[in-house]
Structure 1
Amino acid sequence: MIKGFKEFILRGNVIDLAVAVVIGAAFTGIVNAIVTGLINPLIALIFQADSLNSLVWKVPTLTGGETTFSWGLILGAIINFLAVAIVVYFVFVYPMNRLKEREEKRRGIGQPDEPSLPTEQELLIQIRDLLERQAPASKP
């Protein structure tokens, strides 16, 4: 049981996942700062961000009371999620992909290989077919 746990912990996937979690936590601060300092003020120019939370739908209940659906809160969460996703993509993912493409291009990785030469058997088949076409049809 201990041996299996040790193999699990030392497997590369677990260590990669742990590194990803730590890096993700570090990037959370950066992304939140960009969203709070840049994206939210841009949204506030279009919408009144404070008023999103006050957008509700009040529905009367059967007992005479009222139930409130806070659809503005949901809309605000969706806008916030999209803002975070946009920041992560355009600030981190897109530039990293471009850097990776440039590095691969510089190293020649991903370049199309030269066409492979035909095998000996393929050459013999081609020669045979050419000889058959060139030879006069012999009649028995």
Structure 2
Amino acid sequence: MIKGFKNFLLRGDVIVVAVGLITALAFSTLIKAFTDFVINPIIARAQGGQSVGLGVQLGAPGNKATYLDFGSFLSALIYFVIFMAVVYFLIVVPYKHTQARRGVTVFGDPGPLKTCPACLAEDLPAGASKCRYCTAEQPAGLGDGMPVR
């Protein structure tokens, strides 16, 4: 039992995922600091004057519970885009390259799809024998006259 657990932990994919998560957490901290200390002041200044930030006060002035803070939302959106770009370019692209050298396709384009004539679901794999939604039998093969995307 311990040997099986050891083999599981030492598999290459588990190690790659662990390193990827650690790297993502480190970049998350860096990007959070960037949005908090660089982007947020720029967004707050965009409103001008003595305002609290980019937003609208719905209730009594000074009540944070009724303040719609568009600046914080915009900052979170920028944070998300930067974080996902870092994950993609520093983790996904090298992983795809490494796996391609091993002959394994990861994150590839989906295969051809067909439409079910019974329920008109458009996301059935071309080789499906039954529809996943209505369970109608599907004609076999790609040359069956059914629309394929």
Which category describes the TM-score, using the shorter chain as reference length? 0.3 to 0.5
Structure 2 length as normaliser, TM-score? 0.41
Q: Higher Cα Rg: structure 1 or 2?
A: 1
TM-score in terms of structure 1 length: 0.43
